[in-house]
Amino acid sequence: MTVYLIRRLMQSALVVLAMTVILFLGVYAIGDPVEILISPEADQMERERAIAALGLDRPLWEQYVAFLGNALRGDLGRSFVFNEPALKLILQKMPATLELALAATVFAIVLGLPLGLIAGLKPEALYSRVIMAGSILGFSLPTFWVGLMLIMVFAVQLGWLPSTGRGPTAEFLGVQWSFLTADGLRYLIMPALNLSLFKISLVIRLTRAGVRETVLMDYVKFARAKGLSQNRVIFVHVLKNILIPVVTVTALEFGSTIAFSVVTESVFAWPGMGKLIIDSIYVLDRPVIVAYLMIIVFMFIVLNFTVDVLYSVLDPRVRLQDQKA
Amino acid sequence: MMTAGLRSLLLAAACSCAMAGAAAAQNLTIAVGAPVTSIDPHYHNLSPNNAMAAHIFDGLADTDSRARLVPGLAESWRTIDDTTWEFRLRRGVTFHNGSDFTAEDVAFTISRAPNVPNSPSGFGIFTRPIAEVQVVDPHTVRIRTRAVYPLLAVDLSNVMILDKETHENATTEDFNSGKVAVGTGPYRFVRFAPGDRIELERNDTYWGGRQPWQRVNYRIIVNEAARTAALLAGDVDLIDQVPTADIARLKQDQRLNVSEVVGLRIIYLALDHSRTDGSPFVSGPNGEALDRNPLKDVRVRRALSIAIDRNAIVSRVMEGAAIPAGQFLPEGTYSHVPGLNPPAFDPDGARRLLAEAGYPNGLRLAIHGPNDRYVNDARIIQAIGSFWTRIGVRTQVEAMPWTTFIARAGRQEFSAFLVGWGSSTGEASSPLRSLVATFNREKGFGASNRGRYSNPELDRLLEQALATVDDEKREKLLQDATRVAMEDVAIIPIHIQKNVWAMKRGLRHDARADELTRAMDVRPGG
């Protein structure tokens, strides 16, 4: 087990290092930040000054080595646009995105599990077919379009919810959260729902497939034969056993929810990391782009790692061991 | 009983509505499309930042909605000799923290503006002509320029005045956090959330009179559809950069007003003048390589220009949110050339000119442009491509993201490409100097002349204009230089954009030619 963990950690470190190279080359290949950032009125001398000020006059390998050295000390560079540390900017925006992603995950579980369970237990019923048709829509409709439709219906036509932005926040553990205020919650509902549509559909389909598979198992039949109540059979024997894939996927999806909240955040002007990265790409703010992607890479590695460990806890058949293939 | 309860409930609801209305009348929420990136007024010379800075700070001079110079913190100015300017400063002005505004602050500002660390686009371009700043008395400053420089006051209107006592050693982060975000302007800084909003409150002791809004919430909503939806939902009071497709609908909406003005941004085509032996994206009618660059021939350039139906582009693609252009600036601005009209649409004449130039069977050409920078940019080059194909110049259209496009354009990789130019100073020396003057690092000419056009006659007229203090004589020289550029088709002007805002009915907005969105231009009533 320990050997396995150490090996996994070393692999992860290599992945991070490889990503820095790919990122640096990739970001370097797209355009010239000075052309984007500089005032059109600037003359040649001012351009040269700006290039030097941003450290872009040095050769690529030198920039990379400097970046790597600073990164090891926890400094991912200063934003060209905001003139503040890139890491600080991203961490400032992180609570907003985390809150959105968490709310979306809650939606996915609260709505997805029961709906999937219903659809799995009575697969032929009309309401089950409606649920499954709905989940296809949830998969296939583009997020930005659904987002705009939600705004048009609930903000513009009905006027029930605010159209965009993040409402008032309250402080908790030194961070600003909007779910702690009633008005802040109203701002949270639409973007969270929009972000969770895909996940809800995913959870519905996973749950349904799991339920249909499990109800045919011998131990379920046996439980029924024993005379256990329907509720006990479903919530103890069936649900418990279908939770493993659902937990795995939800955890992995949490990473992509954060990474791909970009679209929802742009449509709802939600001031999170996703919006920051889009704005940064638009003006080629290289330090922020690199820092953001590094954080995402790091997050995926940690999540995968955690899921692997959680597996062994949830399912005693899975053992983490050094596989010698 | 029940009716009475219901009535009181309704009454309470009505009261709370009225109260909300009264409170709302004091507050203004604006949604802008372009992010403000810093509160430090000398960090990043960028229109959205300058628009925000105008709320909190003041310059020595200011510009009105038609881009004409008006007094700011300087009540008046005059030239003592060709290179010495004297500014008389407003008395009794204080910064938001109570510190007095004096001549020392002007000297300090001019020394700080070009020297902000890490600035990606500095204000040094405005202060570079200055040789020396001399404090005569607390309310008089003399500025000596290195050479004759008639645009000094115009340039200084871009430089916001800071306080020597407060801002010595202040960093950009100190401004963004609000620690030193104090100026002399009509609004005080409350909070800056990057990428989200800036909150302001009224400066009750503003030297220019009190503003009508107690609080201003300046929000950033980059997504066009979301911005329009926020206005329709009543969450914001005013939006800028209204998408052209929405203008007609918003104008008809009873709840809304639309304000618009012809701007100072020209959309034009730059052509490859740098190569004589063939251009990368121009070839013969059957795709064969050419041994000379047809774009060096003024007849070909003129043919390409008159082949474009500018009226059709303005009415169909821009849906009326532009005017056809035949020169850099619209009518009514300083150094606009009267009578220099947009080239008339003449496809037959264009074919004749091509034949005269030795291309009776036409040409093949690729036109490039951005697809995320200017209003409807990709659709404009598509339209131009079909106009050119009609005169026998088979055109391939390639639109790409601005970040990729502008780097390639800067390396002279294209033959014909669409760009825009906003003359923020509202006079022709800005486009002449940057777009069509011969590329020259020492003089600072042609910095955005990506086609590398060069014409000694034009350079001579421009240099003469820039050394002429007399406004009338200078205007004449700038007009002559513009005429030379247009007759030689140095660039192909397409149209000048209109700037469009939409707001709730009950607000009046003075639309600005320079595209800046400011709370100071919004008043209740109307």
CB atoms within 10 A of CB B458: 22
Give the nearest chain A residue to B406 (CA atoms). Answer: A35
B384 pLDDT above the threshold of 80: yes
Query: Cβ of A294 under 8 Å from any chain B Cβ?
Result: no
Q: How many CB atoms lie within 10 A of CB B19?
A: 10
Q: How many domains does chain A have?
A: 2
Query: Across the interface, do B122 and A49 touch by the CB < 8 Å criterion?
Result: yes
Nearest to B282 by CA among B274, B305, B290: B290
Q: Half-sphere exposure of residue A227, counting CA atoms within 13 Å on the CB side?
A: 0
Look up residue B74 and give its two tokens. 């300087």
- How confident is the model at residue A15, as a pLDDT? 87
Sequence-separated (6 or more) residues with CB below 8 Å from residue B522: B28, B30, B213, B237, B238, B503, B507, B508, B509
pLDDT at B314: 96
Q: What is the pLDDT of residues B396-455, one digit of tens each?
A: 999 999 988 998 998 999 999 999 999 877 889 999 999 999 999 888 899 999 999 999
B499 or A316, higher pLDDT: B499
* Residues B400, B409: Cα–Cα separation, whole Å: 11
CA atoms within 13 A on the CB side of A104: 30
Report the greatest alpha carbon distance in chain A.
87
A1, pLDDT greater than 80: no
- What six digits make up the tokens of A63? 């920039």
With the C-alpha atoms ordered B238, B240, B245, B247, is the resulting torsion angle positive or negative?
Answer: positive
Q: Which of B30, B36, B37, B249 to mutate to test the interface with A (most CBs of A within 10 A)?
A: B37
Top mean pLDDT of A30-34, A74-78, B284-288 is at B284-288
Are residues A53 and B119, on separate chains, in Cβ contact within 8 Å? Answer: yes
Cα–Cα distance, B326 to B344 (Å, whole number): 9
B48 and B241 in contact (C-beta within 8 Å)? no
Which residues in chain B touch residue A287, judged by CB atoms under 8 angstroms apart? none
Tell me the per-residue pLDDT of A62-81, one tens digit each, with 9 for 90 and over.
888 888 888 888 888 888 88
Residue A206 lies in a domain: yes
Domain co-membership, A51 together with A113: no
Instruction: Give the count of Cβ contacts less than 8 A between chain A and B.
Output: 163
Q: Strand B393-400 and strand B363-370: pairing?
A: parallel
Nearest to B56 by CA among B226, B168, B175, B164: B175
Please tell me the least confidently modeled range out of A261-265, B227-231, B282-286.
A261-265
Top-ranked range on mean pLDDT: pick from B288-292, B331-335, B484-488:
B484-488
A58, A127: one domain: no
CB contact under 8 A, A156 and B229: yes
Q: Is the pLDDT of residue A192 over 70?
A: yes
- What is the token pair recorded at A136? 């296809």
Q: Is residue A323 part of a domain?
A: no
Q: Residue B204: CA atoms inside 13 Å, Cβ hemisphere, count?
A: 1
Give CA–CA dist B523/B508, Å, rounded. 5
Tell me how close the Cα of B396 comes to any Cα of chain A, in angstroms. 23
Cβ separation of B406 and A32 shorter than 8 Å?
yes
> If contacts are CB pairs under 8 Å, which of residues 213-242 in chain A contact chain B?
none
Considering only the beta carbons, identify the residue of B124, B223, B233 that sits closest to A159.
B233
Contact assignment for B194 to A80 by CB distance below 8 Å: no
Whether residue A153 is contained in a domain is answered as: yes
**pLDDT value, residue B265:** 94
Q: Residue B365: which of B304, B436, B276 has the closest Cα? A: B304
Cβ within 8 Å, pair A44-B441: yes
pLDDT confidence bin for B266, thresholds 50/70/90:
very high
Q: What is the DSSP string of B207-236?
A: TT---S-SEEEEEE---HHHHHHHHHTTS-
Q: Which of A35, A164, A278 sits opposite B226 (nearest CB)?
A: A164
**Does any domain span residue A61?**
yes
pLDDT digits (tens, 9 = 90+) for B464-515: 999 998 889 999 999 999 999 999 999 999 999 999 999 999 999 999 999 9
Domain identity same for A45 and A91: no
| Three-class DSSP category at B323 | strand
Whether residues A94 and A65 fall in one domain? no
pLDDT-derived band at A182 (thresholds 50, 70, 90) equals: confident
| Residues of A whose CB is below 8 A from B225 | 148, 267
The whole-number pLDDT of residue A311 equals 72
Q: How far apart are the first and last CA of chain A?
A: 16
pLDDT(B12) > 60: no
Q: Which of A15-19, B167-171, B522-526 has the highest mean pLDDT?
A: B167-171
Chain B neighbors of A156, CB-CB under 8 A: 229, 232-233
The SS3 of residue B141 is: strand
Would the CB atoms of B172 and A166 count as touching at under 8 Å? no
Residues A53 and A200 in one domain: no
User: Hey, of B116, B171, B199, B235, which one would you mutate to test binding to chain A, going by the most A CBs within 10 A of its CB?
Assistant: B235
Minimal C-alpha gap between B48 and chain A (Å)? 12
The token pair at B163 is 């306080």
When pLDDT is averaged across residues B177-201 and rounded to a whole number, the result is 93
Q: Residue B8: what pLDDT? A: 45
Q: Which of A3-12, B152-161, B317-326 has the lowest mean pLDDT?
A: A3-12
Of A28-42, B242-256, B305-319, B450-464, where does mean pLDDT reach its minimum? Answer: A28-42
* Local confidence band at B20 (pLDDT 50, 70, 90 cut-offs): very low
Looking at chain B, which residue has its C-alpha nearest residue A85?
B173
The model's pLDDT over B446-464, given as tens digits with 9 standing for 90+, comes to 999 999 999 999 999 999 9
Chain B contact set for A44 (CB, 8 A): 441, 444, 447
Whether the Cβ atoms of residue B205 and residue B183 lie closer than 8 Å to each other:
no
- Same-domain check for residues A163 and A195: yes
Gyration radius of chain A's alpha carbons? 24
Residue B52 has pLDDT above 90, yes or no: yes
Q: Which domain, by its residues, includes A145?
A: 86-315
Strand partners, B89: B74
Please give the pLDDT value at position A30: 76
Question: Are B403 and A162 within 8 A, CB to CB?
Answer: no
Of A48, A72, A96, which closes a domain? A72
DSSP SS3 for B441: coil
DSSP B295: G
Assess whether pLDDT exceeds 70 at residue A320.
no
Are B194 and A280 in contact by the 8 Å Cβ rule? The answer is no
Q: For A198-227, how does the pLDDT look when each residue is reduced to its tens digit (9 = 90+)?
A: 899 999 999 998 888 888 888 888 888 888
Q: Are A283 and A37 in contact (CB under 8 A)?
A: yes
Weakest-pLDDT range from A170-179, A272-281, B270-279: A170-179
Q: Which spans in B372-439 are helix H?
A: 377-390, 402-410, 429-431
What percent of chain B stands above pLDDT 70? 95
Tell me the chain B residues in contact with residue A281 when contact means C-beta distances shorter than 8 Å: 403
| A325 occurs within a structural domain | no
**Max CA-CA distance within chain B?**
96
Taking all residues of chain A, what is their mean pLDDT, rounded to a whole number? 84
Q: Hey, of A39, A148, A276, which one would you mutate to test binding to chain B, going by the most B CBs within 10 A of its CB?
A: A39
Contacts A43 to B, Cβ<8 Å: 125, 434, 441, 444-445, 447
Q: Does any domain span residue A320?
A: no
Q: Do A164 and B221 touch (CB under 8 A)?
A: yes
Confidence category of residue A319, pLDDT binned at 50, 70, 90: low
For chain B, the straight-line distance linking the first and the last C-alpha, in angstroms and rounded, comes to: 44
In the predicted model, what is the mean pLDDT of residues B95-106? 95
Distance CA A97, CA A268 (A): 12
Statement to judge: residues A126 and A223 lie in one domain: yes
All residues of chain A having their beta carbon less than 8 Å from the beta carbon of residue B29 are: none
- H-state helical runs in B57-160: 103-112, 124-127, 152-156
Q: Pick from B189, B192, B185, B242: which is nearest to B209 by CA? A: B185
Contact residues for B453 (Cβ-Cβ < 8 A; gap 6+) = B271, B273, B436, B438, B490, B491
Is residue B181 within 8 Å of B190, Cβ to Cβ? no
For residue A278, give both structure tokens: 């889009």
User: Which residues, in sequence order, are CB contacts of A305 under 8 Å at separation 6+?
Assistant: A8, A12
Q: Determine contact, residues A118/A208, Cβ cutoff 8 Å.
A: no
Q: Are residues A264 and A117 in the same domain?
A: yes
**B416-422/B256-271 β-pairing:** antiparallel
Per-residue pLDDT band for A325 (boundaries 50, 70, 90) equals: very low
Instruction: Categorize the per-residue pLDDT at B526 as very low, low, confident or very high, splitting at 50, 70 and 90.
Output: low
Instruction: Give me the helices (H) in B98-163, please.
Output: 103-112, 124-127, 152-156
Interchain contact, B447 vs A47, CB within 8 Å: yes
What mean pLDDT do residues A6-27 have?
A: 86
HSE, side-chain direction, 13 A CA sphere, residue B206: 24
Considering only CA atoms, which of B202, B204, B231 is closest in space to residue B215?
B202
The Cα of B445 is separated from the nearest Cα of chain A by a number of Å equal to: 7
Angle ∠(B130,B57,B195) on CA atoms, nearest 5: 110
Query: Min CA distance, B82 vs chain A (Å)?
Result: 24
- Taking only residues 139 to 158 of chain A, the set having a beta carbon closer than 8 angstroms to any beta carbon of chain B reads 148, 151-152, 155-156
C-alpha to C-alpha distance for B214 and B222, rounded to whole angstroms: 25
The answer on A57 and A134 residing in a single domain is no
CATH number for the domain harbouring residue A194:
1.10.3720.10
Taking the CA of residue A86 and the nearest CA in chain B, the distance in Å comes to 12
Radius of gyration of chain B (CA): 26
Give the model's pLDDT for residue B7.
Answer: 45
CB of A26 within 8 Å of a chain B CB? The answer is no
Domain assignment of residue A77, yes or no: no
Domain boundary among A72, A101, A117: A72
Q: What is the arithmetic mean of pLDDT over B219-229? A: 91
Chain B: residue nearest A284 by CA? Answer: B403
**A148 to chain B, minimum CA–CA distance in Å?**
7
> Of A72, A103, A130, which residue constitutes the final position of a domain?
A72
Q: Name which of B110, B221, B154 is nearest B514 in CA terms.
A: B154
Pair (A40, A90) in one structural domain: no
Chain B positions in Cβ-Cβ contact with residue A266 (cut-off 8 Å): 222-223, 226
What would the mean pLDDT of B221-225 be, rounded to a whole number?
89
User: Phi and psi for B285 in degrees, rounded to 5?
Assistant: -60, -25
Residues 6+ apart with CB under 8 A from B105: B161, B162, B163, B164
Task: Please judge whether B235 and A281 are an interchain contact, meaning their C-beta atoms are less than 8 angstroms apart.
Answer: no
Which pair of structure tokens corresponds to residue A105? 């995950």
A284: left (phi over 0), alpha (psi -120 to 50) or beta: left
The helix (H) or strand (E) run that includes residue B315 is: none
C-alpha distance from B359 to closest chain A C-alpha (Å):
36
Structure tokens that stand for A254 in this block: 């949490």
Q: Which of A78, A80, A269 sits opposite B226 (nearest CB)?
A: A269
What's the pLDDT at B112? 95
Distance, CA of B21 to chain centre: 35
pLDDT for the residue B484: 96
- Which of B43, B118, B406 comes nearest A36 by C-beta? B406
Most B CBs within 10 Å, among A32, A45, A46, A80, to test the B interface:
A46
Which of these, B501, B488, B497, B476, lies nearest to B451 by C-alpha position? B488
Is A309 within the bounds of a domain? yes
Residues of A in contact with B434 (CB under 8 A): 40-41, 43
**Rounded Cα–Cα distance for residues B303 and A97 (Å):** 54
ipTM of the complex: 0.80
Q: Identify the DSSP state of A164.
A: S
Residues of B in contact with A36 (CB under 8 A): 402-403, 406
Residues 6+ positions from B154 with CB-CB distance below 8 Å: B61, B69, B425, B427
Looking at the complex, report in whole angstroms how far the Cα of residue A83 sits from the nearest Cα belonging to chain B.
Answer: 7
Q: Which of B52, B310, B361, B347 is nearest to B181 (CA)?
A: B52
Comparing CB atoms, the residue among A30, A45, A275 nearest residue B195 is A275
pLDDT value, residue A124: 84
* pLDDT, greater one: B385 or A307: B385
- A266 in contact with chain B, both atoms CB, cutoff 8 A: yes
Q: Does residue B107 have a pLDDT over 90?
A: yes
Q: Are residues A8 and A116 in the same domain?
A: no
User: Helices then strands (H, E): number in chain B?
Assistant: 17, 20
Q: Which residues touch A233 (CB under 8 Å, ≥6 apart)?
A: A220, A223, A224
Both A60 and A207 in one domain: the answer is: no
Q: Do A47 and B221 touch (CB under 8 A)?
A: no
